[in-house]
Amino acid sequence: MKQGIHPDYHLVVFEDSSTGFKFVSGSTATSKETVKWEDGNEYPLIRVEVTSDSHPFYTGKQKFTQADGAVDRFNKKYGLKN
């Protein structure tokens, strides 16, 4: 691997803005904000809008704005009339 061309990979804390859920992961992202983690070390803090803690797919709290699917709408509009 060529030296000096890859970004610094380090541990950072990601925080979900909407729920406050935090987790540590490796990343090349940096931040001037830091936070002290449970292990006593201080890590850069990256605030994100959506994580598995707030995303509807993972929480099961999906909002269905449209009851009919595309196929149902098509059949309703162009389907066979009984």
pLDDT tens per residue, range 30-77: 999 999 999 999 999 999 888 878 766 666 666 555 556 777 777 778
The per-residue pLDDT for 70 is 76
Q: How confident is the model at residue 81 (pLDDT cuts 50, 70, 90)?
A: low
Q: pTM for this one?
A: 0.65
Domain assignment present for residue 32? The answer is yes
**Whether the Cβ atoms of residue 12 and residue 48 lie closer than 8 Å to each other:** no
Domain assignment present for residue 81? The answer is no
**Whether the Cβ atoms of residue 52 and residue 22 lie closer than 8 Å to each other:** no
pLDDT tens per residue, range 9-37: 999 999 988 888 899 999 999 999 999 99
The per-residue pLDDT for 14 is 94
CA dihedral 72, 75, 81, 82 (to 10 degrees): -40
Domain with 52, as residue range(s), is 1-59
The per-residue pLDDT for 39 is 94
DSSP state string for 10-74: EEEEEEETTT--EEEEEES---S-EEE-TTS-EEEEEEES--TTT-HHHHS----S-SS-HHHHH
Domain assignment present for residue 78? The answer is no
Radius of gyration, alpha carbons of the chain: 22
Counting the structural domains of the chain, the total is 1
